[in-house]
Amino acid sequence: MLLIGRLLLVALCAVTAFAGPAYAADAPKSTAGTALPNPHIAIIDVQRILDESFAAKSVQKQLETQRAKFQTEIEKEENELRQAEQDLDKAHPQMTADVYADREQQLRQRFLDVERHVQARRKLLDQAFTDSMNAVRASLLDIVNTVAQEHGVNMVLIKQQVLWSDKGLDVTDEVLGRLNQKLPQVTVKMAPEGKE
């Protein structure tokens, strides 16, 4: 969540960075000779929206289910490997050096395969989270744009970057309500392993 919040923060900051300094009395002239518009500002609590929106919660719930399933699979594989290692240790005195070395190499290979499987699955989970939250972020940006236009706002600031503001400038509740209506859920799509 924190990563998506930062990405959204950067995106919204990039949109507002070009507004330039706003001086009501002495508005600087552009190269075309027209005055820059007076600022009309709204504030939005992006982190709260990402924490409370139905879509973001649905993503978290689905990913928690996937992680739990994955953890169960990995624990089973790890237990099997531990048992195989114990069995090999017990059988070691009855084996020739070549047979023991061969079985030990096979066991090492199984360990490496499980490790690669864990890394691949984590990468898939991370990518599924990123893709799903990108869908939430895209809808959020569309709604922020619509709300800004409806209120005659030409600059939206992220609440966490504002030291103080009048509560009337905060449009978080309105944006959150619209996001919940527009995107009540996001289906997390997991790529098949090996195709990430």
Q: Render pLDDT for 110-160 as a digit per residue (tens, 0 to 9).
A: 999 999 999 999 999 999 999 999 999 999 999 999 999 999 999 999 999
Residues 6+ apart with CB under 8 A from 165: 41, 43, 157, 159
Identify the band that residue 195 occupies on the pLDDT scale cut at 50, 70 and 90: low
**Confidence at residue 32, expressed as pLDDT on a 0 to 100 scale:** 66
Q: Render pLDDT for 68-116 as a digit per residue (tens, 0 to 9).
A: 999 999 999 999 999 999 999 999 999 999 999 999 999 999 999 999 9
* Position 28 pLDDT exceeds 90: no
Q: Render pLDDT for 111-123 as a digit per residue (tens, 0 to 9).
A: 999 999 999 999 9
Domain 2-12+39-182, classified CATH 3.30.910.20, yes or no: yes
Identify the band that residue 192 occupies on the pLDDT scale cut at 50, 70 and 90: confident
Q: How far apart are CA 104 and CA 91, in angstroms?
A: 11
Burial label for 48, CB within 10 Å (0-12, 13-18, 19+), is: middle
The whole-model pTM stands at 0.72
Distances in whole angstroms, Cα of residue 45 to Cα of each of 12, 65, 156, 162: 12, 28, 10, 10
**Confidence at residue 174, expressed as pLDDT on a 0 to 100 scale:** 98
Average pLDDT of the chain, as a whole number = 86
Quote the tokens at residue 63.
């990913």
Identify the band that residue 5 occupies on the pLDDT scale cut at 50, 70 and 90: very low
H or E segment at 159? none
**Confidence at residue 34, expressed as pLDDT on a 0 to 100 scale:** 85
Domain ranges of the chain: 2-12+39-182
Identify the band that residue 22 occupies on the pLDDT scale cut at 50, 70 and 90: very low
Q: How far apart are CA 31 and CA 23, in angstroms?
A: 17
